[in-house]
Amino acid sequence: MKKKYIAVVDYGMGNLMSVSKAFAGFFPDVRVTNSKRVLNNADAVVLPGVGAFEDAVKNLEKIGIKKNLITNITSGKPFFGICLGLQLLFSRSEENGSFFGLDIIKGTVKRFPRKVELKIPQIGWNKIFIKKNTPLLKGIEEGSFVYFVHSYFGEPLDKSIVCTETVYGVKFASSVCLNNVFASQYHPEKSQRVGLKIIKNFVELIK
């Protein structure tokens, strides 16, 4: 029987060590990779990311896995996007211009409004408020704190895919779910008990 494993996508912009370690705490085989073959044979894919949207898209194209990643996402296998990995799922981003993403989620990545009292990027702990039940939020309490580091957020056209919302100057989608796709603007690998519970819930889908 084929051994199951989770692929964590390495495109030069992720906090790969902490992400892979967090998932490896619940699943025995986690592989950090940019290989098409390894991605295609994975039972689940995790797309982390820290940095600029434009650079991320260019890196995916340079490595040659952008189209392959889209194929993996649309294949129906469990997929988890984290921070920039969430933003890349959107149609486009307004970061430093206008750039096209993977177009899995119809919508736009926007910058927080320039308010005097708002420190940008948002760095630190903030609450999530549950808008839609999903297996990945099983056991997560309303108003739980998770950890954020970001200046931009995704705004989906279809509000029904929003799983949690968070308020930071404005109310924004802090996680979304669409079919096999779950993605969070916050960092579950840095969110201690709450984040690890979400990761464990994701792993249960694979097992």
Residue of 109, 182, 190, 183 lying closest to 145 (CA atoms)? 190
pLDDT tens track for 167-180: 999 999 999 999 99
Domains and CATH numbers, the chain: 6-206 (3.40.50.880)
Q: Which residues are catalytic?
A: 83, 187, 189
Cβ-based neighbours of 57, under 8 Å, separated by 6 or more: 66, 88, 99, 100, 101
Q: What is the DSSP letter of 33?
A: E
Using pLDDT thresholds of 50, 70 and 90, give the confidence band for residue 3: confident
> Tens digit of pLDDT for each residue in 125-161?
999 999 999 999 999 999 999 999 999 999 999 999 9
